[in-house]
Amino acid sequence: MRRYLRLVTSLPTLSVIYDDYELLDAEERYRLLIELGRELEPMPDPLKTDATKVRGCSASVWVYPTRLDDGRLHFLADSNAAITKGIVALVLAAVQDRAPREIAGTDIAAELAPFELGRQLSSNRTQGIPNMIALIRETAERLAA
């Protein structure tokens, strides 16, 4: 008997997001990112600690990894800035609810490359992305071992 697991996240896939994103002008892309950030499930305030804070971001960003019953990783995340929260959601769309080994083997930066975030957004909005990716990758590698 086959058992289907319900995904916890409501984030669309990166390809679905990109299908909309590529058709939009700069202002509409900002709105898309803001809407995407609103789709993140709420992160409880007690989890927003110094230990879960992503370093190097101009806005405050917190990422907290959890494990689903079947071993997949599910990340809770938040930011105090709407567009940054959308960027966080975009990063999570590349890895959410996947096995640690799969996440560790994913080139998240390459998955995000079509969005050309460096061209679309100011450098202070994107400067923390590599640190967030590193945190996610380190967590996945540690749990995959």
The single-letter DSSP state of residue 81 is: S
Q: Which of 17, 40, 57, 63 is catalytic?
A: 57
In angstroms, the first-to-last Cα distance of the chain is: 29
The answer to whether residues 62 and 48 touch, using CB atoms and an 8 Å cutoff, is: yes
Q: Exposure of 122 by Cβ count < 10 A (0-12 exposed, 13-18 middle, 19+ buried)? A: exposed
57 in active site: yes
Active site residues: 57
